[in-house]
Amino acid sequence: MTTRMKGLPVAVLHHFNRDHATMRVRLTGLFNVVDISGPELTRTETITILNDLCFYAPSRLIDPRLTWAEIDDTRARVTFALGPNSVSAELVFNAAGELVDFVSDDRGMLEKDGNMRILRWSTPLGHYREFDGWRVASEGDAIWHLPEGPYTYGHLRLTDYEAR
C-alpha cells in the first residue's frame, strides 16, 4: 500500500502468515520509519485478515476456523482461529443485509514507543457498488476508539475490484 505522510510518499509493507507478521513503513523509499514484528503484531494482522474477508471475500467465511453467534437481528459475532491466535468481531448489518460495520477489541494500535496497545477498532463501510458482478462496499473509515474519543486514521475509497 502506498500513501502520503506530511506530503511525502510512504510505502506500507505487510507480510503475514498464520504464525508470524511483519510491518515495515518506508519513507520516500529510502529508510524505514517503522519495522516491527512479533506476537502482538501477528494478532493484530489476524483481525485485519478477518476484516478483509468479511468485506471483500465473504464467500471465504464458510470455513471451519470461523465460529458464529447471533447477537440480534442486525448483529453477529464471528471468531476466527488461525495459528496461535483467536480473534473476534461484532458484525453490523443494515436492513438490506449489507455489512456496514466491523467492530473488534482484538486489534493493537502501534504506539510511539513501539509497543502495541489493544483498543477497540472499527471499520464502518458503505456506498455499496457493483464491480464486475460483485457488490461490495466502496467507501469507509478505519477508526480507533481512544479513551478521549474516536480517531479516524484512514479513509478508504475503492475504485476497482477484481475477484479471484
- HEC profile of the chain: CEEEECCEEEEEEEEEECCEEEEEEEECCCEEEEEEECHHHHHHHHHHHHHHHHHHCHHHHCCCCEEEEEEECCEEEEEEEECCEEEEEEEEECCCCCEEEEEEEEEEEECCCCCEEEEEEECCEEEEEEECCEEEEEEEEEEEEECCEEEEEEEEECCCCCCC
Is residue 80 scored above 90 in pLDDT? yes
**Per-residue pLDDT at 91 exceeds 70:** yes
C-alpha cell at 5: 505522510
- Residue 61, C-alpha cell as written in the block: 467465511
pLDDT for the residue 10: 82
Q: Is pLDDT of 7 > 90?
A: no
Give dist(CA 80, CA 44) in Å, integer. Answer: 12
- pLDDT per position as a tens digit, 122-146: 999 999 999 888 888 999 999 999 9
- Do the Cβ atoms of 103 and 89 come closer than 8 Å? yes
Distance separating alpha carbons of residues 104 and 88, to the nearest angstrom: 6
The CA distance from 18 to 20, in Å, is: 6
Handedness of CA 69, 75, 51, 21 (dihedral sign): negative
Residue found by looking up cell 438490506 in the block: 96
Average pLDDT over every residue of 43-69: 93
Share of the chain above pLDDT 70, in %: 99
> In this predicted structure, what is the pLDDT of residue 77?
99
Q: pTM of the predicted model, to two decimals?
A: 0.86
Site of grid cell 457488490: 135
Report the chain's mean pLDDT, rounded to a whole number: 90
